[in-house]
Chain A
């Protein structure tokens, strides 16, 4: 992998949120939302981030975008470490990175028209003096973007409540494209949509990627969606990456016990398959990430656990070409 191919390089990213103490007192502690995550994104690829609720997928994306300032670790975008930048430099550096959010209702300002929403990023960069676009240029760009994502330009004076969920998500996508970014972070961007609309939006994401050479960090909890859109997939559990590999490889040959359970639990829309397949049903719930762990994060629910699993944390190690896994069943490197 050539060094200049790498668009985003995340090194040992940690995001801990403090709770308790302060004015109201109470027990002090930390939520270890993201607890040491490493991954790289090559130009033009899609990395899927999958896991159950509370595993730190969204926090990872937000820490990458510096919406949360990470507790520690590095986030290198085109070789520049975003965590070290001051606010002013950060704005300039962040131009190449945009986000699409889950809830198409909450992520659009109800008092702004769709045209204003899409123009907002350009307006902000204009006031910071990074972009120099005239009003006319901005209008043109907005119309061009609306047509590209499948909205009529005549809708530009309408308010978000006049659109359906799928159309709102298209507005969100147009807004993300406004600054011609290289990287788009999609945080559950299709999870709130109905299946027929979800397919439309997924196809739109694929088309845009081809047309503009975009790179995606795509977060979803639906494994089938992730498989469809991603070139590589990272499975997260309790703030760490349990397994990372090429998309087809992961689904054909899951290594980590958690990935195996996750894949077997996902329902498949085919009664014939459903009748014959064997399910691994995990016991218990995802534990709360509010304590520091010494052993494997999956230890409590794992059906293949060994004694050493509770003594050391398994490292994420490449055991086959392009297939990394954090489990002592496949290697012996721990922390």
Chain B
């Protein structure tokens, strides 16, 4: 991965809020990241931390109302996606930036054959005629490892198993040779042996096509095996960002440290007690202007209760948002 290359996607200080009866939910509150060609970026965090909202914001699919993007910039090849008219975004969405969702049953239309659903996208974005589009669809299904795709393409989603449906989604997502593939918990609904198959195919295909991937997941095991870079998210913010190896080797933010320690591991035989993070994840409604992790943090200091920690970037490509590492207190 060459770091000199300009990033294809650049998200700067993104803020997405939702208005609810109880107050404003700051689902995403100042998130920045970059994505380079062919890179695989992992976003990890617990449920409700804003992983999915971040990525829905990138492709401008936040339901509004109640949601709205209140600040930030998203540059795709230098153009701000947030300022683009809808017609232009539709040229990009599903074409240059495509998405795979967690539940392949609800993201495929149960009334339409696989062929209809796949051909629709290809005809729309690639300008092929229907016959050529079908051939292309069959080719993609074959690449995704679906046996006898000529026959199966005319079947309905319910005739596929969970793993097979996710393969269809991958084939569909990659059918327009996108530059960026956003995979939102692509394997969370699947069993481990099927998960291994799907991750294998995703890695293989995106390598071959040179696609950059944003992988959203709550499983640290999945990111460890697939991602070049990791962003750890907590209560709408990134708390730590950096190369996968470094983050696992020496996590800096107390939350990342706690998270890595609280996962039971198969390959370690120390049958001691599992360390856990005390307390509950915060309610994201009307969060105070301070570090959202401080009530659960063992290293909390006075300043943590008053101010958001400033970002500190290190030479080795890591960025941490914690007062422990900041000089300006």
Contacts and interface: CB of A to CB of B under 8 A. Distances in A.
Interface of A: 52-53, 164, 166-167, 194-200, 202-203, 206, 221, 223-225, 227-228, 248, 251, 261-274, 279, 281-282, 285-286
B289 interface: no
Given A196-B259, A196-B281, A270-B224, 18 more contacts: A166-B280, A199-B262, A199-B277, A203-B276, A261-B193, A265-B195, A265-B196, A267-B196, A267-B224, A267-B225, A268-B267, A269-B260, A270-B248, A271-B225, A271-B245, A271-B248, A274-B221, A281-B193
Given A266-B192, A270-B248, A271-B248, A285 B164 contact: yes
Contacts of A248: 269
B262 A224 contact: no
Interface string B44-86: 0011000000000000000000000000000000000000000
A196 B193 contact: no
B220 A269 contact: yes
Contacts of A264: 196
A274 B224 contact: yes
Contacts of A196: 46, 258-259, 262, 276-277, 281
Interface of B: 46-47, 161-164, 191-197, 199-200, 218-225, 244-245, 248-249, 258-260, 262-267, 269, 271, 273-278, 280-281
Chain A, interface SS category = helix
B163, B244, B276: which has the most chain A beta carbons within 10 Å? B276
A302 to B, nearest CB: 12
A262 B264 contact: no
A53 B194 CA distance: 11
Nearest to B145: A283
Contacts of B220: 195, 269
A194 B46 contact: yes
Contact of A267 (B194, B218, B219, B260): B219
A110 to B, nearest CB: 18
Contacts of A282: 193, 196-197
A285 B190 CA distance: 11
Contacts of B218: 194-195
Given A167-B280, A274-B224, A202 B274 contact: yes
A198 B161 CA distance: 29
Contacts of B244: 271
Contacts of A281: 193, 196-197, 200
Contact of B273 (A164, A203, A225, A274): A203
Nearest to A275: B225
A271 B266 contact: no
B130 to A, nearest CB: 31
Given A195-B46, A270-B248, A281-B197, A228 B264 contact: yes
A275 to B, nearest CB: 8
Nearest 4 interchain pairs by C-beta: A267-B221, A199-B276, A199-B262, A269-B220
Nearest to A223: B266
Contacts of B191: 52-53, 221, 286
A194 B197 CA distance: 24
A198 B224 contact: no
Contact of A274 (B225, B259, B271): B225
A232 to B, nearest CB: 14
A203 B274 contact: yes
A198 B262 contact: yes
25 contacts: A164-B281, A166-B280, A195-B46, A195-B220, A196-B46, A196-B262, A199-B262, A199-B275, A200-B277, A200-B278, A202-B264, A221-B192, A223-B266, A265-B192, A265-B193, A266-B221, A268-B224, A268-B225, A268-B267, A269-B263, A270-B224, A270-B248, A274-B225, A281-B200, A282-B196
B192 A52 contact: yes
